[in-house]
């Protein structure tokens, strides 16, 4: 890669691969979730992820570049560990706590990736792309916050973590 633009496209392809992998993993997480609130949050994020892929498609179209051609090995590893966590814990509060932990690892990876490409889009003066990437970055941060809320609970609800630890 010789230019920032080339690096930008390479990173977008990596994110595209990651998002595509996530759309295959999220239904398994939805199915494994015990908590209705967690199941609904994961289902909602699946729909958001499909919209994020649509935004990436729009960016690739604007750039005149195909979206495919790279496999995100980092996401592949995170999702593999997540599947292992689901298999090794029974459905219930502990299983939900493990699902949340693994989902937040995925969210943090995405936040880092989208933050980088959004900053690069700004640097490259790709304003439309930067705006679309910022929209996705905001959704990823909101998904992470929602997972934290489900895990920790609040004034009116016991969180998954408290239930998993035997506290109610």
> What is the domain count for the chain?
1
CA 148, 152, 153, 154 torsion-angle sign: negative
CA atoms within 13 A on the CB side of 17: 16
- How many CA atoms lie within 13 Å of 109's alpha carbon, on the beta-carbon side? 20
Residues of the chain with pLDDT under 50: 155-157
pLDDT of residue 167: 54
93 in Cβ contact with 59 (< 8 Å): no
Q: Which domain holds residue 35?
A: 4-164
Q: Are the beta carbons of 134 and 142 closer than 8 angstroms? A: no
Q: What is the pTM of this model?
A: 0.89
* Owner of token pair 């996705």: 136
For 40-72, the pLDDT digits (tens) are 999 999 999 999 999 999 999 999 999 987 899
Quote the pLDDT of residue 147. 94
- 74: domain CATH number is 1.20.1260.10
Phi, psi (deg, nearest 5) at residue 158: -80, 135
Phi, psi (degrees; rounded to nearest 5) at 89 = -130, 140
- Listed in sequence order, the residues at least 6 apart from 27 whose beta carbon sits closer than 8 Å to its beta carbon are 46
Per-residue model confidence (pLDDT) at position 156: 43
């Amino acid at each position: 890669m010789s230019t920032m633009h080339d690096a930008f496209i390479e990173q977008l392809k990596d994110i595209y691969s990651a998002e595509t992998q996530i759309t295959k993993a999220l239904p398994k997480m939805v199915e494994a979730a015990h908590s209705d609130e967690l199941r609904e949050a994961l289902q909602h994020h699946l729909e958001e992820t499909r919209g994020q892929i649509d935004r990436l498609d729009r960016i690739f179209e604007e750039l005149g570049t195909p979206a495919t051609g790279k496999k995100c090995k980092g996401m592949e590893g995170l999702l593999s560990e997540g599947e292992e966590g689901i298999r090794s814990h029974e459905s219930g509060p502990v299983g939900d706590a493990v699902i949340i932990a693994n989902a937040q690892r995925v969210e943090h990876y995405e936040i880092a990736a989208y933050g980088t490409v959004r900053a690069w889009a700004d640097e490259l003066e790709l304003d439309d792309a930067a705006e679309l990437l910022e929209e996705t970055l905001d959704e990823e941060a909101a998904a992470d916050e929602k997972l934290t809320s489900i895990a920790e609970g609040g004034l009116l609800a016991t969180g998954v973590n408290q239930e998993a630890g035997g506290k109610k």
